[in-house]
Amino acid sequence: MMVAANMSGTIKKLLIIGKSKNSKCFKNVRSLPVDYESNRKAWMTSDIFIKWVRNCDREEKILLLVENCPSPNLRLEKHNFHFLPPNTSVLQPMDQGIIRALESNFRKNVILKLVASLDANEDTSSAKHPKITILDAILMIYDVWNKLKSTTVFNCYKHAGFVRGGPGIADSISVAADNNDDDVPLSVWARALKEELPIENEKLDQYYSVDDDIATCEEPTDENILQNII
């Protein structure tokens, strides 16, 4: 998954990368609300990134801040690129809470779907867990992304230092505050965690951060690193 947004939050782009190009769940689906690509490892590649950038080409000139770019030598006439170095999350707007909010709210939706499925069965001991298809996941992620407020995006840019005045205390917690509409009621969580789903609090924390260390693109080769230095 790759997210992108302008500083005002009025333009938001979402790219999903899966492993299947022609999944059964895509049958009779004419279009998706997000950009979708696929490869065997569901990784971001140079070809996918270049294709995405070209599809986003607009008349006005833009500066694109890029983290973990698989194609650092990319050049386009109407685009300027600034490639952020590794381990600089404090300078990366999307790492100021946008990605975390997107992932956590998506996972809440997954739990809600599971609880709703259990509610539909009187005998919960024999109820089958619902199958989440890639299409289900795409639609849930898009729903969360679409509800992300423009003020949240702006505050994350500000907290990363892209707005004069620098970050403030209110800005550092704005993501959670701006997304209250997406919060799952505590009663639902209590029921899911304590009554119907045998999940401990520690397991829930692991669920939130399950993919924090998953590789999303191929590691650069020595040749790539040398080219960047030169």
The answer to the question of residue 115 being in a domain is yes
Range of the domain at 131: 2-222
User: Does 229 fall in a domain?
Assistant: no
- Residue, of 29 and 210, whose pLDDT is higher: 29
Asked if residue 182 belongs to a domain, the reply is yes
Instruction: Kindly report, residue by residue over 23-36, the tens digit of the pLDDT.
Output: 999 999 999 999 99
On whether residue 101 sits in a domain, the answer given is yes
* CA atoms of 152 and 94, how far apart (whole Å): 10
Domain count, the chain: 1
Mean pLDDT across the stretch 38-51? 88
**pTM for this entry:** 0.72
Q: What is the pLDDT of residue 222?
A: 52
- Label each residue of the chain as H, E or C: CEEEECCCCCCEEEEEEECCCCCHHHCCCCCCCCEEEECCCCCECHHHHHHHHHHCCCCCCEEEEEECCCCCCCCECCEEEEEECCCCHHHCHHHHCHHHHHHHHHHHHHHHHHHHHHHCCCCCCCCCCCCCCHHHHHHHHHHHHHHCCHHHHHHHHHHCCCCCCCCCHHHHCHHHHHCHHHCCCHHHHHHHHHHHCCCCHHHHHHHHCCCCCCCCECCCCHHHHHHHHC
Residue 228 belongs to some domain of the structure: no
- For 73-108, what is each residue's pLDDT tens digit? 666 666 788 888 777 788 889 988 888 888 888 888
- Spatial separation of the C-alpha atoms in residues 84 and 68, rounded to whole Å: 8
